[in-house]
Chains A and B, each alone.
Chain A
Amino acid sequence: DAGVIQSPRHEVTEMGQEVTLRCKPISGHDYLFWYRQTMMRGLELLIYFNNNVPIDDSGMPEDRFSAKMPNASFSTLKIQPSEPRDSAVYFCASSSSRTSGLYEQYFGPGTRLTVT
């Protein structure tokens, strides 16, 4: 398997612009997680999905952030409008409750977002 795929790997945008991050989970995994990592706050869970349904979005910082999972092989995290404080590395991770285990999460390579 190719592992979790994220795009783009790097994104530089200006404040106020819309940013869309993309993720393809490992085939057959039924859980998908979006994280944000900064030096100050560490790795924070933003939202997670089970079988394409959002389960917990309590980590989404504010209404500017939204996430969707239209099918089992694709998810997006959108920031609109973006702000400099959104600069971070955004990771997508997936796991399987049926095989390797719900908590054994496999991370994608991340998207490094810089908002100027």
Chain B
Amino acid sequence: QKEVEQNSGPLSVPEGAIASLNCTYSDRGSQSFFWYRQYSGKSPELIMFIYSNGDKEDGRFTAQLNKASQYVSLLIRDSQPSDSATYLCAVEGGGSEKLVFGKGTKLTVNP
């Protein structure tokens, strides 16, 4: 059973701080990793993807991947109240066409 684990939170940070969201996965064969954002009552929305070890930056978001440790993270710099949402980590299932989702980490950014 392929698993994706996330700290459910809630994670609370002050406005302007760095929010760090973490995810571990069980399938060493996984090659593609995704972060989805889900606002309360809304559908998941893709915000970042990463395929190679290291960091990938997009605006205030940085995705980090360490395949040896089977660890993915998402950093949000200069956090804004509008970043308050649940962040879902998703992992491609080792050659499968499916994504396996973690249960998500709820982030609250306090003004």
Q: Which residues in A have some Cβ–Cβ distance to B below 8 Å?
A: 31, 41-45, 48, 50, 55-56, 91, 101-110
Contact = CB atoms under 8 A, between A and B. Distances in A.
Contacts of B88: 42-43
A42 B98 contact: no
29 contacts: A31-B97, A41-B103, A42-B88, A42-B101, A42-B102, A42-B103, A44-B101, A45-B98, A45-B99, A45-B100, A48-B98, A55-B97, A56-B96, A56-B97, A91-B43, A91-B44, A102-B97, A103-B34, A103-B49, A103-B90, A104-B34, A104-B46, A104-B49, A106-B46, A107-B43, A107-B44, A107-B45, A109-B42, A109-B43
Nearest to A43: B101
Interface of B: 32, 34, 42-46, 49, 88, 90, 92, 96-104
A46 B100 CA distance: 11
Contacts, number: 46
A105 B43 CA distance: 11
Query: Top 6 nearest A-B pairs by Cβ distance?
Result: A42-B103, A107-B43, A43-B101, A107-B44, A103-B32, A110-B43
Nearest to B96: A56
A4 to B, nearest CB: 8
| Majority secondary structure of chain A interface residues (helix, strand, loop or mixed) | strand
A50 B90 CA distance: 20
A56 B99 CA distance: 12
A107 B49 CA distance: 16
A103 B43 contact: no
Contact of A50 (B32, B97, B103): B97
Given A43-B101, A56-B98, A103-B99, 7 more contacts: A43-B44, A44-B101, A103-B32, A103-B49, A104-B46, A105-B99, A108-B43
A48 B44 contact: no
A104 B36 CA distance: 10
